[in-house]
A and B are shown apart, each in its own frame.
Chain A
Amino acid sequence: MKPPPFAYFRPGTLDEAIAILGRTENAKVLAGGQSLMAMLNLRYVFPDALVDINDLFELSGIEIAPERIRIGAMTRQRRIELDAELYEAMPIFRDALKLVGHRQTRNRGTIGGSLCHLDPASELPTLALLLDAGIETAGPAGVRRIPVGEFITGYMMPGIGPDEIVTAIEFAPWSVAHGHAFHEFARRHGDFAVASAAVMVERDRQGVVTRCAIAIGGIGSVPQRHGAGETALTGSDGGPDAIAAALESCAGLDILGDFHGGPDYRLSVARTMLRRSLTAALARASERTQQA
């Protein structure tokens, strides 16, 4: 189908964009458009105006510092996927991005757009949650930095005001010896996941897990941290018993059924993805710790 009519604005500065949002009723921000344009074509949404932020070049770029990595909201997914320095510091981004849509959609799709769309099955919100990222926004009241846990307020509901724009995501990199993995199951390559599991771990030279983060996407109304699983792993030897405990406690997550299958099915898929991700991440952490 074709989109409904709307007014179109393409501001040249962030201030102008915020001002337009402030004075326009029922306006939507157009970033990469890889979800919004499809929703417009299907007439799922009827905005009165689109504010196209593709000319806000200052919102695009990747800055890597030892304590902090910052990715501008308008950075295209494909650029993040291919960035060599980011791959060096946080290789999980490339693993996750390979699962986001297809090359044609990653060429235009942005990280900020993905975060604001907040599909529970999409990879970038799950990754932001995994990394305890801060989401930076700009609005009439100035700049805010929202912890990702507060940004994710509900099913496809980002915690930002109608006149605020997400400008960047920031997070602290993990040690060079960390292990990572991002596994998901989707019906077809590039589709939204039935379940996904993202894992980061650090181990000491004896193999003891010193730090662990787990995020599960796809199964509930929002991506979720798997706190019980993190507790099971942290301080353990990362062996089969610890992994089994982490898988067992997945039952405590919020799980919804859908046309792919009921909650039992999705729980079982989530466990399989988590087993794969934990196994891979633990092995990588051991390898890198030995090399370091």
Chain B
Amino acid sequence: MKQVVVHPERCVGCMQCMLACATAHSRSLMLFAAVQETPQPKARIHVGAGCFNEGFPNRCRHCDPAPCQMACLAGAIYRSDSTGTVMINPDRCINCASCAMACPYGVIRFHEDPLGPAGHAIAVKCDNCSARVAKGQIPACVEICKAGALTYEEMDTAMRRKNRAVARSMSTDADPPVMPAGVALLKSIKQSELQLSGS
């Protein structure tokens, strides 16, 4: 089963994934139409600023067992048997925010959603782009991310790649980690800015 894997060290903080996510969870599924919709579709992945102002893409980990599911007062949170994705049933959610208290990563938001009941705020979070995946597409955030901070792959493959990278970096003739040129540039600009500002 392929999963979205996050590589925060590669994130440049461009927030393209947020736009793509909001669009993928709109009614029209098109960026320019989506911004005109009411209620406004909102992103379910959240790029925050880390301690050094670097980007940090934060999304639901679909934990197992899921603390949010255990805490849900209305039995609205469930795990899809076929994909393992933790889902919120918009018609059962009572917007109590008990799940906000439970989620250790702070990835749940509360608002009216184009895909939920009209006129009611509900809990909203990443659904692994279930609707897109069912159509044979990959999750929208991964598709748009040009920095390689979000990939869609088998967890095993991702682990193996990470292991190899660590092993390489420990050998004497270590290559610098592979990163697109633009990304490396942006990162080093940010880091030097920070050094200049003396933090």
The answer to whether A and B come from one shared complex is: no
Binding site for B on A (CB under 8 A): none
